[in-house]
Amino acid sequence: MRKRIGWSALAAGLVAVVATTAGVAALKGRITADGSSTVGPFTAAAAEMFQRKNRRVQITVGISGTGGGFERFCNDETDLSNASRAIKASEHDKCLSKGVRWLAMTVANDGISLVVNKQNTWASCLTVDELEKIWNTGSKSTAGATSARRSRTCR
């Protein structure tokens, strides 16, 4: 878990910078971020807040996906990487080999909630394994058939 490049270092970092640089007029330059389309909106919002207080700072937020963001970050093309997953070993090694260092910050965690329609007659309990079979790429499983085949009782 320690080897993650932010879940949006920009979002958390810029919020902190906005709070600490409210009276500083001399900030200028460029900041570039790229990565996850899930994290991108948080980064864009943080960048917008920061730029309101620091008009001489130009922030570019790209959305090329987590892998694309890590690729650009490890090539030292961006300042910040937005990730919706942990850095892979190959990405970690590439960053290290190029002398790119980072600080990981978790900005948010996501989750899923399952809701069953009142008229549903078969889904009284589904296991994580069954849900994975239902939603997995190329799944031919139907939830009803999966539930009917189950031989144990859920509690």
Contacts of 56 (CB under 8 A, 6+ apart): 27, 28, 29
- Cα angle 106, 98, 83; round to 5: 20
For residues 97 and 124, the answer to whether their CB atoms sit within 8 Å is no
CATH of the domain at 92: 3.40.190.10
User: For the chain, what is the domain count?
Assistant: 2
81 and 127 co-located in one domain = no
88 and 118 co-located in one domain = no
93 and 139 co-located in one domain = no
Please tell me the predicted confidence (pLDDT) of residue 6.
47
**Amino acid at the residue 93:** D
Helix or strand holding residue 13 (H, E): helix 9-20
Please tell me the predicted confidence (pLDDT) of residue 134.
81
* Residues paired with 57 in a beta bridge: 29
33 and 82 co-located in one domain = yes
The stretches in the chain having pLDDT less than 50 are 1-10, 146, 148, 150-152
The domain containing residue 127 runs over which residues? 112-148
- Whether residue 116 is contained in a domain is answered as yes
Is 0.75 topped by the overall pTM?
no
Please tell me the predicted confidence (pLDDT) of residue 151.
47
Please tell me the predicted confidence (pLDDT) of residue 131.
85
Please tell me the predicted confidence (pLDDT) of residue 2.
32
61 and 123 co-located in one domain = no
* Percent of the chain topping pLDDT 70: 74
- Whether residue 105 is contained in a domain is answered as no
